[in-house]
Structure 1
Amino acid sequence: MTTKLIDRYVAVWNEPDPATRRRAVTELWAEDGVQYTESAEHRGRDALEARVAGAHEQFVAPGEFVFVAAEEVLDHHDAITFTTHMVPTTGGAPVWSGTIFLMLDQDGRIRHDHQFTGAEAGTRAAVTEFLTRLADGDPDRIAELFAAAVDWQLDWPEAGHPAVPWIRERSTRADVAEHFRELNTFHVPGARGGTAPRILVDGPDAVVLGDIRQTVKATGRAYTARCALHLTVDSGVITRYHVYEDSLTVAQALAG
């Protein structure tokens, strides 16, 4: 039920037909429902419909952007919180992100709708998108999320390791794509995985805690390495990428 509500909530901002949009607003929000943003409030269905229509006309109708929901959702009792992104229709990193907090009435309609934006919402959005693309494994799409110049650091000896050739200095977006391309060269793409990561956000900085699960192509040997990432996001792109991982396990797996 929660997932369906979020799908309907996001869909109304993308809906081009005024009559369908009006009906969706009526079905989503209570008669006295209200949306609060940091600078305004929109109270009642007429005001909410005008708010949604204005956002659609400005961002979606020209064909440049579309609204989508992130996968991470929290809910209990009559409260739901999730993140929405406004992304280019041609693909790429979110250009805007908001954290949505909904309170529902007894009929399951939205009574209070609080929208939060700011550095932390944007940071979480960029990191979440990075993890999604990391799981997909496309090096060029991963690199799209990075700045032209990157503060790159991996927790390995400065000289690297002969069995792990992708461990070397990187500093550009092209370097990022090459790094993940080399990772794909040495591992089985369909066998990658990991536990659901924990994301901690403080302004433009994020720490991701989890593990990496890979299978070496040459030997068929699977391994799991715990890791932590320190990422910094500026203007929607990743400018710092520091990785602290169980490098011994990785080196042993690749050395056979």
Structure 2
Amino acid sequence: MARRTAVSALWAEDGVEVIESAQHRGRDEIEARITAAHDEFVRGAGFVFRSAGDATGHHDTITFTTHMVPAGGGDIAWTGRAFVVLGPDGLIRSDHQFTVPTGDTRSTVEDFLRRLAEGDPDRIAEVFAEQVDWVLDWPAEGHPAVPWIRPRSTRADVADHFRTIAEFHVPGEAAGSAARILVEGNEAVVLGDIRQTAKATGKAYTALCALHLVVEDGLITRYAVYEDSLTVAEALSCS
């Protein structure tokens, strides 16, 4: 009953959903399609669907990306992009869905950010190529309070980088946000912030940052980070 109510509230009576293999026209067919997908993927296989947070639109059209992931955590199993057309009454007239190929730039970057939030250094490193062009906005001599900020060049270096960061911060208090992900071809820019609490000083800090990533064959080959390094250094300095 709740599903039928939701379909009626969102879809026009003659609305149509178009996927690669079929069309579903009218509320009855759309409800049946949603029920079948829920039974197969959610109830049956234990997946959940999560928004990529990239919804945008104009002139009664909306496009957005969604990921199908294991409810208990794990790799993205499927990524889809939808193009939705609304009627004058705000109800959905049509919804065209497209499967996003695995390894495209946006899905790779979103996978990296999801693994970064999970905090496992080895799983983070798996998204990187064996050889990485690692670019830092940081003096070559480094800073004694932040030893993880130094040149890197391999996948093993990437794991060590994120492992060392964790060692210098309070567990469970790491957070951050990606306000914008801009993609053009195989390059992406991520704009956001990092929030941590330093173990040595107990100081909590928020540092603005930007990442410039290059993705080739589903792996990150260039990682350039530009961050508020002064805020990081001050938070970790005991003096």
Deviation at 1:44?
Answer: 3.5
Sequence identity of aligned pairs in percent? 61
Whether 1:243 aligns to 2:218 is no
Distance 1:164 1:148, change over 3 A: same
**Is the contact made by 2:69 and 2:76 (CA closer than 8 Å) also made in structure 1?**
yes
Q: Report the TM-score, using the length of structure 2 for normalisation.
A: 0.72
Q: Of 13, 23, 42, which residue of structure 2 is paired with 1:42?
A: 23
Distance 1:75 1:250, change over 3 A: closer
**Is the contact made by 2:174 and 2:195 (CA closer than 8 Å) also made in structure 1?**
yes
How many residue pairs align between the two structures?
A: 233
Equivalent in the alignment of 1:152? 134
Whether 1:176 aligns to 2:162 is no
| Partner-residue secondary structure (3-state), 1:125 | helix
Q: Of 91, 106, 111, which residue of structure 2 is paired with 1:129?
A: 111
**Is the contact made by 2:129 and 2:154 (CA closer than 8 Å) also made in structure 1?**
yes
> 1:199-223, CA deviations, whole angstroms, 9 ceiling, x for partnerless residues?
1111221111122221110110122
Deviation at 1:85?
Answer: 3.1
Equivalent in the alignment of 1:70? 51
Q: How does 1:1-256 map to 2 (within 5 A)?
A: 32-36=14-18, 42=23, 44=25, 68-72=49-53, 74=55, 80-85=62-67, 93-94=75-76, 97-104=79-86, 110-116=92-98, 122-256=104-238
Deviation at 1:117?
Answer: 5.5
Structure 1, unmatched stretches of 5+, are 9-22
CA distance in 1, matches of 2:77, 2:177: 28
Deviation at 1:184?
Answer: 0.5
Q: Report the TM-score, using the length of structure 1 for normalisation.
A: 0.68
In proportion to residue count, which structure has more helix? 1
**Is the contact made by 1:93 and 1:236 (CA closer than 8 Å) also made in structure 2?**
no
> 1:175-233, CA deviations, whole angstroms, 9 ceiling, x for partnerless residues?
21211111010011322223552211112211111222211101101222221100122
| Partner-residue secondary structure (3-state), 1:233 | strand
Distance 1:98 1:71, change over 3 A: closer
Provide the aligned C-alpha RMSD in A: 4.1
CA distance in 2, matches of 1:112, 1:251: 52
CA distance in 2, matches of 1:150, 1:181: 17
| Partner-residue secondary structure (3-state), 2:235 | helix
Deviating more after overlay: 166-175 vs 88-97: 88-97
